[in-house]
């Protein structure tokens, strides 16, 4: 897929509206339009990366930053565990079609606001 046709690239460029919650030079975070929980945020790199399978060594810092941003957003939204480890959230990367990846631009799901079940899927 060409970057100009990528839906997440279009969101980053402002060509498609989104309900953003965080943006910096490396990542953009916004509410998923098809949430699976009361809170469902997508954290994507500004740079187009197809997915985990396409990561290069120079992408290490952006992936680590995605996790750091997820933690900050979770704290801001009241999802972070308390001292007794109540509350919480799930972070998910889907890698490939069989795993549920439907947009081929790396994205981290931050899902919370309800009790999660296990196993997922």
Positions annotated as catalytic residues are: 107
Instruction: Give the whole-angstrom CA distance, residue 109 versus residue 116.
Output: 14
> Between the CA atoms of 98, 102, 106 and 107, what dihedral angle is there, to the nearest 10 degrees?
-100
**What's the Cα-to-Cα distance from 35 to each of 41, 107, 112, rounded to whole Å?**
8, 14, 10
């Amino acid at each position: 897929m060409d970057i100009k046709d990528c839906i997440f690239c279009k969101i980053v460029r402002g060509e498609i509206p989104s309900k953003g919650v965080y943006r910096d030079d490396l990542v953009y975070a916004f509410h998923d339009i098809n949430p699976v929980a009361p809170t469902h945020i997508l954290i994507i790199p500004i740079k187009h990366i197809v997915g985990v399978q396409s990561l290069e060594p120079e992408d290490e810092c952006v992936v680590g930053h995605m996790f750091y941003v997820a933690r900050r957003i979770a704290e801001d939204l009241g999802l972070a565990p308390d001292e007794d480890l109540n509350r919480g959230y799930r972070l998910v990367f889907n890698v490939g079609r069989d795993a549920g990846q439907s947009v081929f631009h790396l994205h981290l799901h931050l899902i919370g606001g309800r009790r999660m079940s296990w196993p997922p899927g």
